[in-house]
Amino acid sequence: MITCSEATKRLWEYLDATLGAADRAALEEHLASCRRCCGELEFAEELRRFLAASGRAEIPDDVLRRLNLTLEELEP
């Protein structure tokens, strides 16, 4: 099974449906047993919905700054 670090690195590819079958299966296996990563997935899904509904021009600067900090923390 993959680690939490590997899982969070693959979440956006998972949401974009760009993972290969083996990677997708490994991530889904991890998500089935990891509450923390399920929370990360829920956050990513909600963030994606928010961004799609809002458009970049409407995102307040402080929210965009916090978003960028969060994304930087997720990078390897």
The CB density around residue 6, as the number of other CB atoms within 10 Å, is 15
At 55 the pLDDT is 65
CA 28 to chain centroid: 13
Looking at residue 74, its amino acid is L
Residue 34 backbone zone (phi > 0: left; psi -120 to 50: alpha; other: beta): beta
pLDDT digits 0-9 by tens, 29-67: 999 999 999 999 999 999 888 878 776 567 788 888 888
To the question of pTM greater than 0.85 for the whole model, the response is no
Residues in the chain: 76
Domain count, the chain: 1
Which residue range(s) make up the domain with 62? 4-74
